[in-house]
Structures are given as C-alpha cells and as structure tokens.
Amino acid sequence: MRKLFLVSACLVGARTRYDGEARLHPELLQLLQEGRAVPICPEQLGGLTTPRPPAEIQGGDGFDVLAGRARVVTGEGQDVTAAYLRGAEEVLRLAKIWRVSGAVLKERSPACGCSQIYDGTFTGKLRAGFGVAAAILAQAGLPVFSENSWKDKE
C-alpha cells in the first residue's frame, strides 16, 4: 500500500500563511496530485484567522509548549498558545484517523517547523527546534520531515 503523508497546506498552494500567501513546492504538489498527501494547516485548525499577526515561540520550542514550559506569542505580545495547542491536537487526531505514515511540514513555522524555528525575538534569528504541531506528531512517533529534508520514502 502506498504511503500517505500529511503536508503543510501552504506548501501545496493553499494561501494559509499568516500573510495570506502560499509557498508552493512543486514536488509536494505532485505528491498531493498522486493522492499520496493530505493538506493540513495547524494554525487554521487551531482557530486562527488568515491573514493573522506573525507569531513565534518564546522560552523553548514546540516540545516545551506541549509541556507547558514555553508559549507562542504574536509580535504585539498576544498569547496565542491555546490556539497552537488546539491546532496541534487536531493535526494529531487527523494523523491517527487517516493512518498517515508521516508528515512533510514547512520549515521555520512556529507550528510546522521541524528542525529550525524563529527564536522568539522577532528579529529574524533562527534556533534549532520544532514547531508545536511538528512536535506533537514526533512525540507520537511519526516521522516528520521539512520541505528541505523530505524525499520520497516510498
């Protein structure tokens, strides 16, 4: 049976990003067109609007947010941690009922990042770490790739 992957919706053309744009990745679009990927946007699934203010994780990464040690805030200082947790939990629920083999998620996002995220200072600096949705999937034992590290695992 062919493997099915979750994929960040913005990578396959959906205008789900905070700025109302997409970041189309042709190889991942092809994966979706072949019926091997399902698009998800954890930030929208958590109830956030599009467009929305950009947000970053402060005090750690997605694993720390899941453990209650860090929070997600907008540049204006609004705490949006609850929405990120809701979105991550919904992504995990869908991963289970759809029986996906893994996920290919957008690097650097506070929800989807899976090796690098912004450092919480809103200065464009990066740190190693996972976004909240990527962390909940990895914590559940699912392979999580970025659009840069992904290659066809079939």
Q: Which helix (H) or strand (E) holds 74?
A: strand 71-74
CA 49 from centre of chain:
16
Name which of 110, 112, 107 is nearest 137 in CA terms: 112
C-alpha angle with apex 42: 83 to 124, nearest 5 degrees?
85
Site string for ligand SF4, 85-124 (x = CB under 6 A): ---------------------x--x-xx------------
Q: Which stretch binds ligand SF4 (CB under 6 A): 8-16, 27-35, 92-100, 143-151?
A: 8-16
Find the binder of ligand SF4 among 5, 6, 12, 16 (CB under 6 A): 16
Q: Which residues bind ligand SF4 (CB under 6 A)?
A: 8-10, 16-17, 41-43, 106, 109, 111-112
